[in-house]
Chain A
Amino acid sequence: MATATMTAKKEKSVLWDWLTTVDHKKLAILYLVAGTLFFVKAGVMALFIRIQLMIPENDFMTGQVFNELITMHGTIMLFLAVTPLIFGFMNFAIPLQIGARDVAFPFINALGFWIFFFGGLLLSVSWFFGGAPDAGWTAYVPLSTREFAGSGMDFYALGLQVSGFGTLISAINFIVTIINMRAPGMTMMRMPLFCWTGLVTSILIVFAFTPLAAGLALLMLDRIFSGQFFLPDMGGNAILWAHIFWIFGHPEVYILVLPAFGIISEVVPAFSHKRLFGYTAMVFATIVIAFLSFMVWVHHMFTIGIGPITNSVFALATMTIAVPTGIKIFNWLFTMWGGKLVFNTAMLCAASFVPTFVLGGITGVMLSMAPVDYLYHDTYFVVAHFHYIIVGGIVFGLLAGLYYWYPKMFGHKLNETLGKIMFWSLYIGFHLTFFIQHILGLIGMQRRVYTYLGGQGFDMMNLVSSIGSFVMGAAIVVLVINIVYSAYTSERITVRDPWDARTLEWSTPTPIPEYNFAQTPQVRSLDPWFYEKVHGDGTMKPAEPMGDIHMPNGSILPFMIGLGLFIWGFGMIMLNMDNPIIPPAIVIGVGFVITFGMMVLHSKEDHGYHIPVDEVKKIEKGVG
């Protein structure tokens, strides 16, 4: 076999290695780190918001700053914190769970990360150029148009455009990976549920981020080139934005929550020591939820006044989502029923997810009744609803995933005592913060107001809510301490399967060699690793003989393309600046040339390299 192509692996510096990596396991860590940084940033903003609202008529900050903070908090949390955290786990677990050596497009995978990252950076630098976006994460027109919003909205439109493109191509990569790269015997209906939800989420991204791209393009054209889409005087229509935004926006909430469902469906069976109850029903519930999520967007627009027929149709469609969601809830409960339950931190997070999510779902159904939504809409009741789902559901799901996969990713477990302290303080803090907001909303406190008058019955509840948020903040600090503490003191893990789990990723050695599987495994059943432990000899049967392993080469081009798009986006924003110093056209041109120049460079063929079979054997002996 062609020995000439076995490029000797040069020793690379650590930084260069991370900038050029196309290994899905390393990209997973990059996603987790970037997502955590954005998460902490947006979390601090949330604390500032709660400080402002702690007492009536507070003057901790101005209304303008308050608006900028709520906008950035929501935008960052959804697009730049939770999405990459989800992608981090998907990147790490999906190839391992389907028995693949890598993703379908390693280069695109890296490209997706860097484009997302630079898009997030573009949004974040807005603070230094005339203030952050201030029209809410929904960016409703006319508030966000050239007439009313400052330069922050330019950063919103272009930053999200760039980072959204990164998210889109990563999703395509996941879809193709899951469909084409499965190991022999790993049929669709034998895939772990996390792969299923990953697949469905990626499909949702492909069909929801594209309308968002269109909407953001319209907003950008409005702001920079004076497009007339939203101005009634010019024949435009302000409702257009709301439609496009929510055509994207409702699927988006399921994009975020489905992978959390997936994580729960991995963690609950693992620590109940039982197979997932109703696997097939779970798969179909996932698909039905995904389909319905495209048919309900008008429930965010009930009070706009689109008319009774439209409102009724969409109210009904919204309520039906509760059915597949209910199926899922019962399946998790039945999985735990009669199992040998182990309540470590991962399982605590996963188990507490279920009741919290039910509460969020119930308020969802309440909101879906159009007539009463006139009462709830734009009050703290809605804020409580989506935080029950996003924090109580998604964040707890992500934490469960973190504690569950941590030993496989980093070679040691997180400390359990600190973990439990984190869990309980987060859980209590969360309910303290958000439960009371239901009531605040019902007695009439609007959302997105930067202060309120005393003596309306809001004072005490707002104080309680703010105290709760500090408790949550403390819990996150405990998590960070735990990560550092465990890195120094936790015992190294050398076994493959520290949790006695069920799916394929636990059949790989710890730490995982860069090629994942020396021999592609032969899958014989659902929960293949568990099957081999019970019915086989406890090792996966190989589907192929030992041989040279083909690996892709790293590349700096993804980083450069991301940088190019950043420069291009910044140039576009400069078109609106009063004193841009450098002519914007030059900046745009430079970004354009970098982006497309790198793409042309990429068209050069690069077939990667081979790890010779002897070396594979050596590595396997080392880790075995």
Chain B
Amino acid sequence: MADHIDVAQGLPANPEKATLEGKNKFLGMWVFLGGETVMFATFFGTFLGLRKGTVGGPTAEDLFSLPLVFIMTMILLTSSLTSVLGILAMKRNNFKTLRTCMLLTVLLGFGFVGFEVYEFYHYYHEGLGYTTSAFASSFYTLVGLHGCHVLFGLGWIITLLARYWNAGGVTLANAPKFYSASLYWHFIDVVWVFIFTVVYLLSVGGA
């Protein structure tokens, strides 16, 4: 750990990696995300392997409504941008903007979850229960797991915001935390790119 931190000198250019703790968090987060990739790949594989198994129940073509998915995609992409802007503000020692951007991210995240809940509710009423078919189970599991990740990310960012709302500025202790949370948030977004491509578009496109 760097022995002396002279606050008067100003915030280092990359505050999230200025301390050994920060460097550790940064690398640890990436290793974790590497593992998450493989876990999601397993669920994607399950879905892709089982998606034809509708046994007479509703199929993907019957159900999926692209406009809804499009709106959800836009919301999540935008929330990723706001968290990028937040981190860039953090590097400039602009805590207020960081706060606002993260708050925006949270609001967009809730918007996304809201749409997802509506979507599931809708499909359920169209006759696609969790146990209807292997397609139904694997679809709900994959997309639902992503939804749980969104919820966990929201809980994380909200905790950080509540803890640091009045911290008065970016510090060497909170910068790595915001940075890790935003990495996690981007990862959720990356997974969604695959979900909308492979789960929705591919099925509707007739492959």
Stretch of B22-30, B72-80, B186-194 on the interface side: B22-30
> In the complex, which of the residues B39, B133, B135, B136 contacts A211, with contact meaning CB atoms closer than 8 Å?
B39
The 9 closest A-B pairs by CB, nearest first: A235-B53, A235-B134, A214-B42, A210-B39, A236-B134, A227-B137, A206-B35, A104-B24, A210-B35
Check if A553 is an interface residue, CB within 8 A of chain B: no
Q: Please, how many angstroms separate the alpha-carbon atoms of A225 and B131 in the complex?
A: 8
| A211–B42 CB distance below 8 A | yes
Q: Which of B1, B20, B38, B41 has the most CB of A within 10 A?
A: B38
| A206–B27 CB distance below 8 A | no
Check if B163 is an interface residue, CB within 8 A of chain A: yes
Show 27 A/B contacts (Cβ-Cβ < 8 Å), sorted by A.
A104-B28, A105-B28, A108-B28, A172-B32, A175-B27, A179-B27, A180-B24, A181-B24, A206-B31, A207-B34, A207-B35, A210-B35, A210-B39, A211-B42, A214-B39, A214-B42, A228-B53, A229-B137, A233-B55, A235-B50, A235-B53, A235-B133, A237-B134, A240-B46, A247-B42, A547-B3, A603-B159
| B131–A172 CB distance below 8 A | no
With a CB–CB cut-off of 8 A, which chain A residues contact B23?
Answer: 180
Instruction: Encode contact with A along B150-183: 1 for CB under 8 Å, 0 otherwise.
Output: 0000010001100100000000010001000000
- From residue A103, how far is it (CB to closest CB) to chain B in Å? 9
| B55–A240 CB distance below 8 A | no
Within 8 A of B (CB), among A559-614: 596, 599-600, 603-605, 607
Q: Please, how many angstroms separate the alpha-carbon atoms of A108 and B23 in the complex?
A: 15
With a CB–CB cut-off of 8 A, which chain A residues contact B130?
Answer: 225-227
Check if A449 is an interface residue, CB within 8 A of chain B: no
Main secondary structure on B side of the interface with A: helix
Q: How many A-B residue pairs have CB under 8 A?
A: 116
With a CB–CB cut-off of 8 A, which chain A residues contact B137?
Answer: 221, 227-229, 236
Give the residue name and chain of the B residue nearest to A101 (CB): B1
For chain A, the count of residues having a C-beta within 8 Å of the partner chain is 45
- From residue B171, how far is it (CB to closest CB) to chain A in Å? 9
Give the residue name and chain of the A residue nearest to B142 (CB): A214
Q: Please, how many angstroms separate the alpha-carbon atoms of A47 and B135 in the complex?
A: 45
| B141–A211 CB distance below 8 A | no
Check if A550 is an interface residue, CB within 8 A of chain B: yes
| B173–A605 CB distance below 8 A | yes
| A175–B31 CB distance below 8 A | yes
Check if B52 is an interface residue, CB within 8 A of chain A: yes
Check if B126 is an interface residue, CB within 8 A of chain A: no
Q: Please, how many angstroms separate the alpha-carbon atoms of A172 and B133 in the complex?
A: 37
Check if A244 is an interface residue, CB within 8 A of chain B: yes
Known: A176-B28, A210-B39, A236-B50. A229 touches B34 (CB 8 A): no
| B131–A213 CB distance below 8 A | no
Q: Please, how many angstroms separate the alpha-carbon atoms of A225 and B134 in the complex?
A: 13
Q: Please, how many angstroms separate the alpha-carbon atoms of A217 and B155 in the complex?
A: 22
Check if A218 is an interface residue, CB within 8 A of chain B: yes
- From residue A317, how far is it (CB to closest CB) to chain B in Å? 19
With a CB–CB cut-off of 8 A, which chain B residues contact A236?
Answer: 50, 53, 134, 137
| B134–A215 CB distance below 8 A | no
Q: Please, how many angstroms separate the alpha-carbon atoms of A231 and B130 in the complex?
A: 14
| B39–A234 CB distance below 8 A | no
| B52–A235 CB distance below 8 A | yes
Q: Please, how many angstroms separate the alpha-carbon atoms of A600 and B28 in the complex?
A: 19
State the A residues within 8 Å of B (CB): 104-105, 108, 168, 172-173, 175-176, 179-181, 206-207, 209-211, 213-215, 217-218, 221, 225-229, 231, 233-237, 240, 244, 247, 547, 550, 596, 599-600, 603-605, 607
Q: Please, how many angstroms separate the alpha-carbon atoms of A176 and B30 in the complex?
A: 10
With a CB–CB cut-off of 8 A, which chain B residues contact A244?
Answer: 42, 46
State the B residues within 8 Å of A (CB): 1, 3, 20, 23-24, 27-28, 31-32, 34-36, 38-39, 41-43, 46, 49-50, 52-55, 130-138, 141, 145, 155, 159-160, 163, 173, 177
Apart from A181-B20, A214-B39, list 19 A-B contacts with CB within 8 A. A104-B28, A105-B24, A209-B35, A211-B39, A211-B41, A217-B145, A218-B46, A218-B141, A227-B130, A227-B137, A228-B133, A234-B131, A235-B50, A235-B52, A236-B50, A237-B134, A240-B49, A603-B159, A605-B173
Give the residue name and chain of the A residue nearest to B42 (CB): A214
| A210–B53 CB distance below 8 A | no
With a CB–CB cut-off of 8 A, which chain B residues contact A108?
Answer: 28
- From residue B43, how far is it (CB to closest CB) to chain A in Å? 6
Known: A172-B32, A604-B163. A227 touches B131 (CB 8 A): yes
With a CB–CB cut-off of 8 A, which chain B residues contact A105?
Answer: 24, 28
- From residue A44, how far is it (CB to closest CB) to chain B in Å? 34
Q: Please, how many angstroms separate the alpha-carbon atoms of A361 and B46 in the complex?
A: 33
Known: A234-B134, A237-B50, A600-B159. A213 touches B141 (CB 8 A): no
> In the complex, which of the residues B36, B38, B55, B141 contacts A235, with contact meaning CB atoms closer than 8 Å?
B55
Q: Please, how many angstroms separate the alpha-carbon atoms of A247 and B41 in the complex?
A: 12
| B136–A180 CB distance below 8 A | no
Q: Please, how many angstroms separate the alpha-carbon atoms of A80 and B155 in the complex?
A: 32
- From residue A619, how far is it (CB to closest CB) to chain B in Å? 20
> In the complex, which of the residues A172, A221, A547 contacts B28, with contact meaning CB atoms closer than 8 Å?
A172
> In the complex, which of the residues B52, B134, B160 contacts A229, with contact meaning CB atoms closer than 8 Å?
B134
With a CB–CB cut-off of 8 A, which chain A residues contact B49?
Answer: 237, 240
Q: Please, how many angstroms separate the alpha-carbon atoms of A227 and B47 in the complex?
A: 13
| B28–A603 CB distance below 8 A | no
- From residue A276, how far is it (CB to closest CB) to chain B in Å? 28
With a CB–CB cut-off of 8 A, which chain B residues contact A104?
Answer: 24, 28
